[in-house]
Structure 1
Amino acid sequence: MRFDVNCSILFTGLPLLERPAAAKAAGFDGVEFWWPFAAAVPDDHEVDAFVAAVEDAGVRLVGLNFADDIAEGGRGLFSRPADRARLRDNLDVAIGIAERLGCTALNALYGNRVAGQERQQDVLALENLALAARKAAKIGAVVLVEALNSYESPSYPLVSVKGAIDVIENVGEPNVRFLCDLYHLARMGEDLTAALAHPLVGHVQIADAPGRGRPGTGEIPLKRLLDGYDGWVGLEYKDPGLDFDWIKEFS
Protein backbone atom coordinates (compact mmCIF):
# COMPACT_ATOMS: atom_id res chain seq x y z
CA MET A 1 0.00 0.00 0.00
CA ARG A 2 1.25 3.43 -0.96
CA PHE A 3 -0.32 6.75 0.04
CA ASP A 4 -0.56 9.66 -2.34
CA VAL A 5 -1.74 13.17 -1.56
CA ASN A 6 -4.66 14.81 -3.29
CA CYS A 7 -3.16 18.25 -3.72
CA SER A 8 -6.51 19.80 -4.54
CA ILE A 9 -7.70 19.34 -0.94
CA LEU A 10 -4.39 19.21 0.99
CA PHE A 11 -1.58 21.77 0.93
CA THR A 12 -4.13 24.31 -0.24
CA GLY A 13 -2.35 27.08 1.63
CA LEU A 14 0.29 26.97 -1.10
CA PRO A 15 0.02 27.96 -4.75
CA LEU A 16 -1.04 24.93 -6.78
CA LEU A 17 2.29 24.52 -8.54
CA GLU A 18 4.15 24.40 -5.21
CA ARG A 19 2.06 21.59 -3.79
CA PRO A 20 3.79 18.62 -5.47
CA ALA A 21 7.12 19.67 -3.96
CA ALA A 22 5.45 20.14 -0.57
CA ALA A 23 4.01 16.63 -0.80
CA LYS A 24 7.45 15.26 -1.59
CA ALA A 25 8.97 17.14 1.33
CA ALA A 26 6.33 15.59 3.58
CA GLY A 27 7.46 12.13 2.52
CA PHE A 28 5.07 11.25 -0.31
CA ASP A 29 6.03 9.86 -3.71
CA GLY A 30 2.65 10.33 -5.36
CA VAL A 31 0.07 13.06 -5.84
CA GLU A 32 -3.32 13.39 -7.45
CA PHE A 33 -5.41 16.38 -8.47
CA TRP A 34 -8.91 17.39 -9.33
CA TRP A 35 -8.79 19.25 -12.66
CA PRO A 36 -6.09 21.83 -11.87
CA PHE A 37 -6.99 24.51 -14.41
CA ALA A 38 -9.77 27.08 -14.72
CA ALA A 39 -10.43 26.17 -18.34
CA ALA A 40 -11.23 22.75 -19.76
CA VAL A 41 -8.59 23.45 -22.41
CA PRO A 42 -5.79 25.45 -20.78
CA ASP A 43 -3.05 27.03 -22.87
CA ASP A 44 0.19 25.16 -23.50
CA HIS A 45 2.10 27.30 -21.02
CA GLU A 46 -0.23 26.34 -18.18
CA VAL A 47 0.02 22.66 -19.06
CA ASP A 48 3.80 22.77 -19.34
CA ALA A 49 4.08 24.54 -15.98
CA PHE A 50 1.91 21.91 -14.29
CA VAL A 51 3.84 19.04 -15.82
CA ALA A 52 7.14 20.63 -14.82
CA ALA A 53 5.95 21.15 -11.23
CA VAL A 54 5.16 17.45 -10.86
CA GLU A 55 8.34 16.30 -12.60
CA ASP A 56 10.60 18.70 -10.72
CA ALA A 57 9.13 17.56 -7.40
CA GLY A 58 10.08 13.97 -8.18
CA VAL A 59 6.61 12.62 -7.54
CA ARG A 60 4.28 10.50 -9.63
CA LEU A 61 0.90 11.78 -10.78
CA VAL A 62 -1.25 8.89 -9.56
CA GLY A 63 -4.66 10.29 -10.47
CA LEU A 64 -6.19 13.20 -12.37
CA ASN A 65 -9.78 14.33 -12.80
CA PHE A 66 -11.06 15.15 -16.22
CA ALA A 67 -12.34 18.73 -16.39
CA ASP A 68 -14.83 19.29 -13.59
CA ASP A 69 -16.78 22.10 -12.00
CA ILE A 70 -16.07 21.34 -8.35
CA ALA A 71 -14.95 24.89 -7.65
CA GLU A 72 -18.38 26.10 -8.76
CA GLY A 73 -20.23 23.52 -6.68
CA GLY A 74 -20.66 21.01 -9.51
CA ARG A 75 -19.74 17.34 -9.64
CA GLY A 76 -18.36 16.77 -13.11
CA LEU A 77 -19.39 17.10 -16.73
CA PHE A 78 -19.81 13.63 -18.17
CA SER A 79 -23.61 13.54 -18.11
CA ARG A 80 -24.39 17.21 -18.57
CA PRO A 81 -25.77 18.08 -22.04
CA ALA A 82 -24.79 21.75 -21.85
CA ASP A 83 -21.18 20.74 -21.18
CA ARG A 84 -20.89 18.10 -23.91
CA ALA A 85 -18.48 20.09 -26.12
CA ARG A 86 -16.48 21.36 -23.15
CA LEU A 87 -16.00 17.84 -21.84
CA ARG A 88 -15.07 16.35 -25.19
CA ASP A 89 -12.59 19.13 -25.86
CA ASN A 90 -10.99 18.27 -22.54
CA LEU A 91 -10.50 14.54 -23.08
CA ASP A 92 -7.37 14.73 -25.21
CA VAL A 93 -5.88 17.45 -23.00
CA ALA A 94 -6.33 15.44 -19.80
CA ILE A 95 -5.10 12.24 -21.39
CA GLY A 96 -2.13 14.09 -22.86
CA ILE A 97 -1.13 15.32 -19.40
CA ALA A 98 -1.57 11.83 -18.02
CA GLU A 99 0.63 10.37 -20.75
CA ARG A 100 3.41 12.89 -20.11
CA LEU A 101 3.42 12.15 -16.38
CA GLY A 102 2.81 8.40 -16.45
CA CYS A 103 -0.61 8.74 -14.83
CA THR A 104 -2.84 5.73 -15.43
CA ALA A 105 -6.03 6.69 -13.58
CA LEU A 106 -8.41 9.41 -14.78
CA ASN A 107 -11.50 10.24 -12.73
CA ALA A 108 -14.69 10.90 -14.69
CA LEU A 109 -17.16 12.56 -12.34
CA TYR A 110 -20.65 11.79 -13.62
CA GLY A 111 -22.24 15.20 -13.12
CA ASN A 112 -25.20 16.54 -11.17
CA ARG A 113 -28.75 15.97 -12.32
CA VAL A 114 -30.44 18.52 -14.57
CA ALA A 115 -34.19 18.61 -13.99
CA GLY A 116 -36.11 17.11 -16.89
CA GLN A 117 -32.99 15.81 -18.64
CA GLU A 118 -32.24 12.73 -16.53
CA ARG A 119 -32.71 10.16 -19.30
CA GLN A 120 -30.73 12.22 -21.79
CA GLN A 121 -27.99 12.57 -19.20
CA ASP A 122 -27.65 8.84 -18.68
CA VAL A 123 -27.37 8.19 -22.40
CA LEU A 124 -24.80 10.96 -22.82
CA ALA A 125 -22.75 9.78 -19.84
CA LEU A 126 -22.37 6.31 -21.34
CA GLU A 127 -21.30 7.80 -24.67
CA ASN A 128 -18.77 10.12 -23.04
CA LEU A 129 -17.39 7.43 -20.73
CA ALA A 130 -16.93 5.02 -23.62
CA LEU A 131 -15.16 7.68 -25.67
CA ALA A 132 -12.90 8.60 -22.75
CA ALA A 133 -12.13 4.94 -22.10
CA ARG A 134 -11.11 4.26 -25.67
CA LYS A 135 -8.82 7.28 -25.67
CA ALA A 136 -7.35 6.38 -22.27
CA ALA A 137 -6.71 2.81 -23.39
CA LYS A 138 -4.20 4.12 -25.92
CA ILE A 139 -1.90 5.18 -23.04
CA GLY A 140 -2.66 2.18 -20.83
CA ALA A 141 -4.88 4.17 -18.46
CA VAL A 142 -8.20 3.45 -16.81
CA VAL A 143 -11.22 5.73 -16.47
CA LEU A 144 -12.72 5.84 -12.99
CA VAL A 145 -16.39 6.18 -12.03
CA GLU A 146 -16.97 7.40 -8.48
CA ALA A 147 -19.88 7.14 -6.07
CA LEU A 148 -20.30 10.18 -3.82
CA ASN A 149 -22.56 10.68 -0.80
CA SER A 150 -25.98 12.24 -1.07
CA TYR A 151 -25.54 14.42 2.03
CA GLU A 152 -22.86 16.58 0.44
CA SER A 153 -23.84 15.96 -3.19
CA PRO A 154 -27.66 15.77 -3.22
CA SER A 155 -27.95 16.20 -6.98
CA TYR A 156 -25.33 13.58 -7.87
CA PRO A 157 -27.03 10.34 -8.98
CA LEU A 158 -24.31 7.79 -8.20
CA VAL A 159 -24.40 7.34 -4.43
CA SER A 160 -23.83 3.60 -4.01
CA VAL A 161 -21.43 0.91 -5.11
CA LYS A 162 -24.21 -0.66 -7.17
CA GLY A 163 -25.05 2.61 -8.88
CA ALA A 164 -21.46 3.13 -9.98
CA ILE A 165 -20.91 -0.50 -10.98
CA ASP A 166 -24.09 -0.52 -13.05
CA VAL A 167 -22.79 2.45 -15.03
CA ILE A 168 -19.38 0.82 -15.48
CA GLU A 169 -20.92 -2.40 -16.77
CA ASN A 170 -23.25 -0.50 -19.11
CA VAL A 171 -20.32 1.38 -20.65
CA GLY A 172 -18.89 -1.96 -21.70
CA GLU A 173 -15.26 -0.88 -22.05
CA PRO A 174 -12.66 -3.06 -20.29
CA ASN A 175 -10.69 -0.17 -18.78
CA VAL A 176 -13.51 1.52 -16.88
CA ARG A 177 -13.07 0.97 -13.16
CA PHE A 178 -14.61 1.89 -9.81
CA LEU A 179 -13.11 4.65 -7.69
CA CYS A 180 -13.67 3.29 -4.19
CA ASP A 181 -13.83 6.34 -1.92
CA LEU A 182 -14.27 4.90 1.55
CA TYR A 183 -15.41 8.21 3.04
CA HIS A 184 -18.35 8.65 0.67
CA LEU A 185 -19.33 4.99 0.94
CA ALA A 186 -19.19 5.09 4.74
CA ARG A 187 -21.49 8.11 4.78
CA MET A 188 -23.96 6.05 2.75
CA GLY A 189 -23.74 3.02 5.06
CA GLU A 190 -22.11 0.75 2.47
CA ASP A 191 -20.24 -2.46 3.30
CA LEU A 192 -16.69 -1.13 3.00
CA THR A 193 -15.01 -4.53 3.09
CA ALA A 194 -17.14 -5.73 0.20
CA ALA A 195 -16.58 -2.50 -1.71
CA LEU A 196 -12.79 -2.82 -1.46
CA ALA A 197 -12.96 -6.45 -2.59
CA HIS A 198 -14.96 -5.67 -5.75
CA PRO A 199 -13.01 -6.82 -8.81
CA LEU A 200 -13.66 -3.55 -10.65
CA VAL A 201 -11.91 -1.35 -8.07
CA GLY A 202 -9.34 0.77 -9.89
CA HIS A 203 -8.32 3.25 -7.21
CA VAL A 204 -9.00 3.92 -3.51
CA GLN A 205 -9.40 7.23 -1.70
CA ILE A 206 -9.81 7.80 2.02
CA ALA A 207 -10.95 10.27 4.63
CA ASP A 208 -12.38 9.50 8.03
CA ALA A 209 -16.08 9.90 8.75
CA PRO A 210 -17.84 11.85 9.95
CA GLY A 211 -16.02 15.08 9.29
CA ARG A 212 -13.83 14.12 6.33
CA GLY A 213 -10.73 14.51 8.49
CA ARG A 214 -7.49 12.56 8.56
CA PRO A 215 -7.53 8.88 9.59
CA GLY A 216 -8.09 8.52 13.32
CA THR A 217 -10.42 11.49 13.64
CA GLY A 218 -13.59 9.53 12.94
CA GLU A 219 -15.12 6.09 13.06
CA ILE A 220 -13.88 4.22 9.96
CA PRO A 221 -11.45 1.37 10.82
CA LEU A 222 -9.17 2.31 7.96
CA LYS A 223 -6.12 0.39 9.15
CA ARG A 224 -8.09 -2.85 9.32
CA LEU A 225 -9.88 -2.25 6.04
CA LEU A 226 -6.72 -1.48 4.10
CA ASP A 227 -4.65 -4.32 5.56
CA GLY A 228 -3.40 -6.33 2.59
CA TYR A 229 -4.36 -3.74 -0.05
CA ASP A 230 -1.37 -3.22 -2.32
CA GLY A 231 -2.38 -0.30 -4.54
CA TRP A 232 -2.19 3.47 -4.23
CA VAL A 233 -4.47 5.07 -1.65
CA GLY A 234 -5.33 8.71 -2.23
CA LEU A 235 -5.55 11.00 0.78
CA GLU A 236 -8.59 13.12 0.03
CA TYR A 237 -9.35 14.60 3.42
CA LYS A 238 -9.35 17.99 5.10
CA ASP A 239 -6.55 18.82 7.52
CA PRO A 240 -5.38 22.43 7.85
CA GLY A 241 -2.64 21.26 10.24
CA LEU A 242 -1.13 18.80 7.75
CA ASP A 243 -0.48 16.24 10.48
CA PHE A 244 0.69 12.97 8.90
CA ASP A 245 1.77 11.20 12.09
CA TRP A 246 -1.14 8.78 11.70
CA ILE A 247 0.71 7.06 8.85
CA LYS A 248 3.08 5.45 11.38
CA GLU A 249 0.21 3.20 12.46
CA PHE A 250 -0.02 1.78 8.93
CA SER A 251 3.65 0.82 8.62
Structure 2
Amino acid sequence: MTYTVNCSILLTELPLLERPAAAKAAGFDAVEFWWPFSTSVPLDHEVDAFIAAIRDAGVQLTGLNFNAGDMPNGDRGLVSWPARGKEFRDNLAVVVGIGRELGTKGFNALYGNRIDGVDPAAQDAVAIENLAAAAEAVAAIGGTVLVEPVSGAERYPLRTAVQALDVIDHVRTSTGTRNLALLADFYHLAVNGDDVPQVIEEHAASFGHIQIADAPGRGAPGTGSLPIDAWIARSQELGYSGYIGLEYKAPIETAFAWAAEAVAAAR
Protein backbone atom coordinates (compact mmCIF):
# COMPACT_ATOMS: atom_id res chain seq x y z
CA MET A 1 0.00 0.00 0.00
CA THR A 2 1.35 3.42 -0.95
CA TYR A 3 0.26 5.90 1.70
CA THR A 4 0.79 9.65 1.79
CA VAL A 5 0.63 11.45 5.14
CA ASN A 6 -1.46 14.60 5.31
CA CYS A 7 0.82 16.80 7.39
CA SER A 8 -1.82 19.47 7.88
CA ILE A 9 -4.01 17.25 10.07
CA LEU A 10 -1.41 14.78 11.36
CA LEU A 11 1.79 15.49 13.30
CA THR A 12 0.39 18.87 14.30
CA GLU A 13 2.23 18.79 17.62
CA LEU A 14 5.31 19.70 15.55
CA PRO A 15 6.05 22.93 13.68
CA LEU A 16 4.78 22.60 10.12
CA LEU A 17 8.22 22.47 8.51
CA GLU A 18 9.30 19.62 10.80
CA ARG A 19 6.41 17.37 9.85
CA PRO A 20 7.76 15.99 6.55
CA ALA A 21 10.85 14.68 8.34
CA ALA A 22 8.65 13.19 11.07
CA ALA A 23 6.58 11.39 8.44
CA LYS A 24 9.76 10.01 6.92
CA ALA A 25 10.98 8.88 10.34
CA ALA A 26 7.68 7.06 10.81
CA GLY A 27 8.34 5.07 7.64
CA PHE A 28 6.48 7.03 4.96
CA ASP A 29 7.94 8.33 1.71
CA ALA A 30 5.15 10.72 0.70
CA VAL A 31 3.24 13.62 2.21
CA GLU A 32 0.44 15.98 1.26
CA PHE A 33 -0.60 19.37 2.65
CA TRP A 34 -3.51 21.73 2.78
CA TRP A 35 -2.38 25.23 1.77
CA PRO A 36 0.52 25.76 4.21
CA PHE A 37 0.62 29.56 4.16
CA SER A 38 -1.57 32.33 5.54
CA THR A 39 -1.93 34.17 2.23
CA SER A 40 -2.48 33.23 -1.41
CA VAL A 41 0.87 34.75 -2.37
CA PRO A 42 3.38 34.09 0.42
CA LEU A 43 6.82 35.65 0.57
CA ASP A 44 9.54 33.99 -1.46
CA HIS A 45 11.47 32.90 1.62
CA GLU A 46 8.36 31.18 2.99
CA VAL A 47 7.95 29.17 -0.19
CA ASP A 48 11.66 28.36 -0.31
CA ALA A 49 11.57 27.10 3.28
CA PHE A 50 8.59 24.86 2.55
CA ILE A 51 10.23 23.37 -0.54
CA ALA A 52 13.45 22.81 1.38
CA ALA A 53 11.60 21.02 4.19
CA ILE A 54 10.12 18.55 1.71
CA ARG A 55 13.39 17.96 -0.08
CA ASP A 56 15.50 17.71 3.06
CA ALA A 57 13.11 15.12 4.48
CA GLY A 58 13.48 12.96 1.39
CA VAL A 59 9.75 12.63 0.80
CA GLN A 60 7.52 13.21 -2.22
CA LEU A 61 4.88 15.94 -2.04
CA THR A 62 2.00 14.10 -3.69
CA GLY A 63 -0.75 16.62 -3.09
CA LEU A 64 -1.28 20.30 -2.28
CA ASN A 65 -4.45 22.30 -1.72
CA PHE A 66 -5.03 25.65 -3.31
CA ASN A 67 -5.60 28.38 -0.74
CA ALA A 68 -8.96 27.59 0.89
CA GLY A 69 -9.24 30.67 3.09
CA ASP A 70 -9.35 30.62 6.89
CA MET A 71 -10.03 26.92 7.47
CA PRO A 72 -9.95 27.05 11.32
CA ASN A 73 -12.69 29.68 11.26
CA GLY A 74 -14.92 27.84 8.82
CA ASP A 75 -13.81 28.77 5.30
CA ARG A 76 -13.82 25.83 2.92
CA GLY A 77 -12.39 27.20 -0.28
CA LEU A 78 -12.30 30.24 -2.53
CA VAL A 79 -13.31 28.61 -5.82
CA SER A 80 -16.96 29.75 -5.74
CA TRP A 81 -16.48 32.95 -3.72
CA PRO A 82 -17.01 35.87 -6.12
CA ALA A 83 -15.45 38.52 -3.87
CA ARG A 84 -12.23 36.51 -3.57
CA GLY A 85 -11.81 35.47 -7.18
CA LYS A 86 -8.66 37.51 -7.68
CA GLU A 87 -7.16 36.00 -4.55
CA PHE A 88 -7.78 32.51 -5.93
CA ARG A 89 -6.34 33.40 -9.33
CA ASP A 90 -3.27 34.98 -7.72
CA ASN A 91 -2.70 31.69 -5.90
CA LEU A 92 -2.39 29.66 -9.08
CA ALA A 93 1.12 30.70 -10.05
CA VAL A 94 2.46 29.96 -6.57
CA VAL A 95 0.83 26.52 -6.49
CA VAL A 96 2.20 25.68 -9.92
CA GLY A 97 5.66 26.90 -8.92
CA ILE A 98 5.73 24.63 -5.87
CA GLY A 99 4.36 21.74 -7.89
CA ARG A 100 6.99 22.19 -10.56
CA GLU A 101 9.80 22.22 -8.02
CA LEU A 102 8.59 19.15 -6.16
CA GLY A 103 6.96 17.05 -8.87
CA THR A 104 3.49 17.30 -7.36
CA LYS A 105 0.55 16.21 -9.51
CA GLY A 106 -2.59 16.45 -7.36
CA PHE A 107 -4.08 19.84 -6.45
CA ASN A 108 -7.23 20.04 -4.33
CA ALA A 109 -9.53 23.00 -5.07
CA LEU A 110 -12.09 23.20 -2.26
CA TYR A 111 -15.31 24.55 -3.73
CA GLY A 112 -16.23 26.98 -0.97
CA ASN A 113 -19.28 27.59 1.23
CA ARG A 114 -22.46 29.27 0.12
CA ILE A 115 -22.17 32.99 0.88
CA ASP A 116 -25.01 34.93 2.48
CA GLY A 117 -26.60 37.35 0.05
CA VAL A 118 -24.98 35.82 -3.04
CA ASP A 119 -27.00 33.92 -5.64
CA PRO A 120 -25.87 30.26 -5.65
CA ALA A 121 -26.06 30.25 -9.44
CA ALA A 122 -23.62 33.16 -9.52
CA GLN A 123 -21.28 31.28 -7.22
CA ASP A 124 -21.46 28.20 -9.41
CA ALA A 125 -20.65 30.25 -12.51
CA VAL A 126 -17.59 31.71 -10.77
CA ALA A 127 -16.57 28.21 -9.69
CA ILE A 128 -16.65 26.88 -13.23
CA GLU A 129 -14.40 29.71 -14.41
CA ASN A 130 -11.97 29.29 -11.53
CA LEU A 131 -11.76 25.51 -11.82
CA ALA A 132 -11.08 25.80 -15.52
CA ALA A 133 -8.36 28.37 -14.85
CA ALA A 134 -6.82 26.16 -12.17
CA ALA A 135 -6.86 23.13 -14.44
CA GLU A 136 -5.24 25.08 -17.24
CA ALA A 137 -2.54 26.32 -14.87
CA VAL A 138 -1.58 22.91 -13.44
CA ALA A 139 -1.78 21.24 -16.85
CA ALA A 140 1.55 22.90 -17.58
CA ILE A 141 3.17 20.55 -15.04
CA GLY A 142 1.05 17.49 -15.76
CA GLY A 143 -1.23 18.19 -12.80
CA THR A 144 -4.85 17.37 -12.03
CA VAL A 145 -7.34 19.54 -10.15
CA LEU A 146 -9.22 17.55 -7.52
CA VAL A 147 -12.81 18.34 -6.53
CA GLU A 148 -13.84 17.06 -3.10
CA PRO A 149 -17.14 16.49 -1.30
CA VAL A 150 -16.73 17.64 2.31
CA SER A 151 -18.58 16.99 5.57
CA GLY A 152 -18.93 19.14 8.67
CA ALA A 153 -19.69 22.41 6.86
CA GLU A 154 -23.42 22.87 6.38
CA ARG A 155 -23.01 25.63 3.81
CA TYR A 156 -20.63 23.59 1.65
CA PRO A 157 -22.72 22.50 -1.37
CA LEU A 158 -20.71 19.47 -2.54
CA ARG A 159 -21.53 16.66 -0.12
CA THR A 160 -21.79 13.61 -2.36
CA ALA A 161 -19.71 12.15 -5.15
CA VAL A 162 -22.46 12.85 -7.67
CA GLN A 163 -22.52 16.54 -6.76
CA ALA A 164 -18.76 16.83 -7.24
CA LEU A 165 -18.86 14.84 -10.47
CA ASP A 166 -21.61 17.11 -11.80
CA VAL A 167 -19.33 20.10 -11.26
CA ILE A 168 -16.46 18.32 -13.00
CA ASP A 169 -18.70 17.42 -15.95
CA HIS A 170 -19.92 21.02 -16.17
CA VAL A 171 -16.37 22.33 -16.35
CA ARG A 172 -15.48 19.78 -19.01
CA THR A 173 -18.50 20.40 -21.20
CA SER A 174 -18.46 24.18 -20.92
CA THR A 175 -14.73 24.78 -21.26
CA GLY A 176 -13.23 21.62 -22.78
CA THR A 177 -10.90 21.26 -19.80
CA ARG A 178 -10.19 17.60 -19.00
CA ASN A 179 -7.68 17.41 -16.14
CA LEU A 180 -10.13 17.42 -13.24
CA ALA A 181 -11.06 14.43 -11.10
CA LEU A 182 -12.96 13.39 -8.00
CA LEU A 183 -11.16 13.33 -4.67
CA ALA A 184 -12.87 10.42 -2.95
CA ASP A 185 -12.47 10.95 0.76
CA PHE A 186 -14.17 7.86 2.15
CA TYR A 187 -14.72 9.49 5.55
CA HIS A 188 -16.49 12.57 4.18
CA LEU A 189 -18.61 10.50 1.80
CA ALA A 190 -19.61 8.04 4.52
CA VAL A 191 -20.61 10.58 7.17
CA ASN A 192 -22.55 12.54 4.55
CA GLY A 193 -24.61 9.41 3.88
CA ASP A 194 -23.27 8.68 0.42
CA ASP A 195 -23.23 5.07 -0.81
CA VAL A 196 -19.47 4.56 -0.79
CA PRO A 197 -19.49 1.02 -2.27
CA GLN A 198 -21.63 2.26 -5.16
CA VAL A 199 -19.34 5.24 -5.72
CA ILE A 200 -16.38 2.85 -5.84
CA GLU A 201 -18.11 0.47 -8.26
CA GLU A 202 -19.05 3.26 -10.64
CA HIS A 203 -16.07 5.59 -10.45
CA ALA A 204 -12.98 4.03 -8.82
CA ALA A 205 -11.05 3.76 -12.07
CA SER A 206 -11.30 7.52 -12.54
CA PHE A 207 -10.69 8.63 -8.94
CA GLY A 208 -8.11 11.39 -8.83
CA HIS A 209 -7.18 10.59 -5.24
CA ILE A 210 -8.40 8.65 -2.20
CA GLN A 211 -8.23 9.88 1.38
CA ILE A 212 -9.19 7.92 4.47
CA ALA A 213 -10.25 8.32 8.09
CA ASP A 214 -12.48 6.14 10.20
CA ALA A 215 -15.95 7.03 11.45
CA PRO A 216 -17.26 8.03 13.82
CA GLY A 217 -14.61 10.42 15.06
CA ARG A 218 -12.35 10.92 12.03
CA GLY A 219 -9.71 8.81 13.71
CA ALA A 220 -7.13 6.36 12.43
CA PRO A 221 -8.18 3.22 10.56
CA GLY A 222 -9.56 0.68 13.02
CA THR A 223 -10.88 3.23 15.51
CA GLY A 224 -14.36 3.25 13.97
CA SER A 225 -16.62 1.04 11.92
CA LEU A 226 -15.85 1.84 8.28
CA PRO A 227 -14.57 -1.08 6.14
CA ILE A 228 -11.69 1.01 4.88
CA ASP A 229 -9.42 -1.86 3.85
CA ALA A 230 -12.19 -3.46 1.78
CA TRP A 231 -13.02 -0.14 0.10
CA ILE A 232 -9.39 0.45 -0.80
CA ALA A 233 -8.93 -3.10 -2.10
CA ARG A 234 -12.03 -2.86 -4.28
CA SER A 235 -10.96 0.52 -5.64
CA GLN A 236 -7.64 -0.97 -6.64
CA GLU A 237 -9.30 -4.01 -8.20
CA LEU A 238 -11.31 -1.61 -10.36
CA GLY A 239 -8.28 0.34 -11.53
CA TYR A 240 -7.29 2.91 -8.93
CA SER A 241 -3.51 2.96 -8.67
CA GLY A 242 -2.75 6.19 -6.84
CA TYR A 243 -1.76 7.10 -3.31
CA ILE A 244 -3.98 6.65 -0.26
CA GLY A 245 -4.04 9.89 1.71
CA LEU A 246 -3.99 9.57 5.49
CA GLU A 247 -6.22 12.45 6.56
CA TYR A 248 -7.34 11.61 10.06
CA LYS A 249 -6.89 12.97 13.59
CA ALA A 250 -4.59 11.18 16.01
CA PRO A 251 -1.94 12.13 18.56
CA ILE A 252 1.60 11.86 17.32
CA GLU A 253 2.44 9.05 19.77
CA THR A 254 -0.12 6.66 18.27
CA ALA A 255 -0.78 8.17 14.85
CA PHE A 256 0.62 5.25 12.88
CA ALA A 257 0.30 2.35 15.31
CA TRP A 258 -2.34 0.75 13.09
CA ALA A 259 0.12 0.65 10.17
CA ALA A 260 2.82 -1.03 12.25
CA GLU A 261 0.27 -3.58 13.45
CA ALA A 262 -0.81 -4.29 9.87
CA VAL A 263 2.80 -4.88 8.79
CA ALA A 264 3.39 -7.19 11.74
CA ALA A 265 0.23 -9.15 10.95
CA ALA A 266 1.27 -9.54 7.32
CA ARG A 267 4.52 -11.13 8.41
The separation in 1 between residues aligned to 2:216 and 2:94, in whole angstroms, is: 35
Asked if the contact 2:10–2:255 (Cα under 8 Å) also holds between the matched residues in 1, the reply is no
The residue correspondences of 1:40-119 to structure 2 (distance < 5 A) are 40-69=40-69, 70-117=71-118, 118-119=120-121
Separation in structure 1 between the aligned mates of residue 178 and residue 112 of structure 2, nearest angstrom:
22
Residue identity opposite 1:202 in structure 2: G
Q: Which of 130, 154, 157 pairs up with 2:132?
A: 130
Match of 1:242 among 241, 254, 259: 254
Q: Aligned to 1:213, which of 210, 219, 226?
A: 219
Deviation (angstroms), 1:196: 2.9
Unmatched 5+ residue regions in structure 2? none
Q: Read off the aligned partner of 2:64 and give its amino acid letter.
A: L
Q: Which amino acid aligns with 2:91?
A: N
How many residue pairs match? The answer is 249
SS of 2:101's equivalent in the other structure is helix
- Find the counterpart in structure 1 of residue 8 from structure 2: 8
CA distance in 1, matches of 2:197, 2:102: 32
What does residue 187 of structure 2 align with?
Answer: 183
- The CA deviation string for residues 182-220 of structure 1, in whole angstroms up to 9 with x for no partner, is 000010222222323404310000000110000001110
The code of the aligned residue for 1:68 comes to: A
For the residues of structure 2 that align with 1:246 and 1:189, how far apart are their CA atoms?
26
Letter in 2 for 1:201: F
Please list the CA deviations of residues 165-190 of structure 1 after superposition, one character each: whole Å capped at 9, or x if unmatched: 00000001211000000000010222
* Residue type at the aligned position of 1:233: I
Larger deviation, residues 228-237 vs 81-90: 228-237
Identity of aligned residues (%): 54
**Whole-Å separation in 2 of the counterparts to 1:196 and 1:234:** 16
Would you say the 8 A contact 1:11–1:242 is kept in 2? no
Deviates more, 1:193-202 or 1:49-58: 193-202
TM-score (norm 2): 0.90
Aligned to 1:202: 208
Question: SS where residue 10 of structure 1 aligns?
Answer: coil
Misfit runs of 4+, over 6 Å: none
Cα distance in 2 for residues equivalent to 1:196 and 1:54? 32
Which 10-residue stretch deviates more, 85-94 or 113-122?
Answer: 113-122
Unaligned stretches of 5+ in structure 1?
Answer: none
State the alpha-carbon separation in 1 of the partners of residues 161 and 98 from structure 2.
29
> Which one-letter code corresponds to 1:203 in the other structure?
H
